[in-house]
Amino acid sequence: MEVVIALEFRWDAVGVLTWQRLLQRADGCSLQQAWSYGRAVAAQGHEVRRLLVEENGEAVALVQVALRRLAARLSLALVMRGPVWLVREAARHEADVLAELRRELRGAVLLWSPDDTNAAARRSTHRRVMTGYSTIRLDLRRPPAALRSGLDGKWRNMLVRAEASGLEIRAVGGGHLLHWLIDHNEAYRAKIGYRGPSPAFVRDLGEAQPPGHRLVLVALEKREPVAGVIVDRHGAAATYYAGCTTERGRALRAHHLLLWQAVERLASSGVGMLDLGGIDTDKAAGVARFKLGMGGTPMMLAGTYLVAPWFGAASERKGPQSPAAPFLASLER
């Protein structure tokens, strides 16, 4: 007997609690598809739309879209690292979901950055305009001993040194230590010249997160901060979102201790995957080597596509030179 598949597309039909509950079902999802990220984007003045996809009455996918109006009749729509497939087999409906996005967002230029490494021929009808984002994913479902043994030998030795340094690691929820961390993270970003979220966006995202979904750890030596990290949870995953280290913190290997303690806390709370927040081997090679030392899996995502039908012509370019890049950057400003 032939099986009839009925897809239903429900726009802006569920609230924050349902969205969060459904994200928990996904086998990994990106921060950019979390409700809290959408709230932070909206705080920057952009419109946010959310789509629930159901197959025969069962929720199978979520898509969060950010929109920016450029002129009276022209706007940009961006799907960042979505859809989130709640059922892995539902990915076969990718073309149907993209068609629904085009229908609902007609008149908008639709930019789509899928959360996978697959630049397969089935996407050849869409024009790739931006090369893929590179990051590292760390599987936290392994036992703590296996996670530690998976560290690069030099990285593990630096961790042992940090553990013996007498540093105090403090979890903070606000106040002057959080401000110190965010300000120093921005100073380092500006010095190196790599793209990253503005201090305002980091704060907006933290305010949008549900209780317990942002982990902020600061390392102190004699009550003075020397390093800090911010990790944001989303569904059953988390992302290392921001961090900083002083010269003294670097000498003490404070960041090794901070991220290791973050891994332990996340794993014990049920988080299954940590995204180490991207790597840039050109402008931040040292940071990239540090993240690679944690023993995760490097990956380059498929890239950003201009979904057909598009307006005008575009050619693929790398990173910040892409015509899509200014819009991507503006969302976190």
The contacts of residue 305 (CB under 8 Å, 6+ apart) are: 111, 112, 113, 114, 123, 126, 127, 128, 129
Identify the three-state secondary structure at position 300: strand
CATH at residue 59: 3.40.630.30
Is-contact 53 4, C-beta < 8 A?
A: no
In-domain check, residue 324: yes
Is-contact 58 18, C-beta < 8 A?
A: no
User: What CA–CA distances, in Å, run from 34 to 16, 146, 228, 251, 268?
Assistant: 9, 29, 23, 36, 21
- Distance CA(59)–CA(142), nearest Å, equals 29
The contacts of residue 288 (CB under 8 Å, 6+ apart) are: 279, 280, 281
Indicate if 99 and 148 belong to the same structural domain: no
Range(s) of the domain holding residue 87: 7-133+301-331
For residue 135, pLDDT beyond 70 = yes
Residue 219: DSSP 8-state: E
In-domain check, residue 2: no
Indicate if 39 and 119 belong to the same structural domain: yes
In-domain check, residue 229: yes
Indicate if 262 and 307 belong to the same structural domain: no
Is-contact 322 130, C-beta < 8 A?
A: yes
In-domain check, residue 1: no
Indicate if 216 and 256 belong to the same structural domain: yes
Q: What is the mean pLDDT of the chain?
A: 91
| Average pLDDT for 117-136 | 83
Indicate if 85 and 12 belong to the same structural domain: yes
User: Does residue 318 or residue 217 have the better pLDDT?
Assistant: 217
Q: How confident is the model at residue 329 (pLDDT cuts 50, 70, 90)?
A: low
Indicate if 108 and 247 belong to the same structural domain: no
Tell me what pLDDT residue 126 has.
Answer: 87
Indicate if 160 and 188 belong to the same structural domain: yes
pLDDT per position as a tens digit, 217-256 = 999 999 999 999 999 999 999 999 999 999 999 999 999 9
| Average pLDDT for 89-111 | 94
In-domain check, residue 91: yes
10 forms beta bridges with 52
Q: How many domains does the chain have?
A: 2
Indicate if 216 and 323 belong to the same structural domain: no
User: Does residue 283 or residue 185 have the better pLDDT?
Assistant: 185
Lowest mean pLDDT among 60-69, 101-110, 193-202, 311-320: 311-320
Tell me what pLDDT residue 281 has.
Answer: 83
In-domain check, residue 103: yes
Measured in residues, the chain has a length of 333
Strands 304-306 and 74-80: unpaired
- Distance CA(173)–CA(209), nearest Å, equals 12
Q: Among residues 132, 93, 57, which one has the least CA distance to residue 328?
A: 132
pLDDT per position as a tens digit, 36-90 = 999 999 999 999 999 999 999 999 999 999 999 887 778 999 999 999 999 999 9
Indicate if 140 and 41 belong to the same structural domain: no
Indicate if 264 and 291 belong to the same structural domain: yes
Indicate if 152 and 289 belong to the same structural domain: yes
Tell me what pLDDT residue 325 has.
Answer: 58
Is-contact 40 65, C-beta < 8 A?
A: no
- Distance CA(128)–CA(333), nearest Å, equals 24
In-domain check, residue 314: yes
In-domain check, residue 160: yes
Q: How confident is the model at residue 282 (pLDDT cuts 50, 70, 90)?
A: confident
Indicate if 167 and 229 belong to the same structural domain: yes
Tell me what pLDDT residue 74 has.
Answer: 83
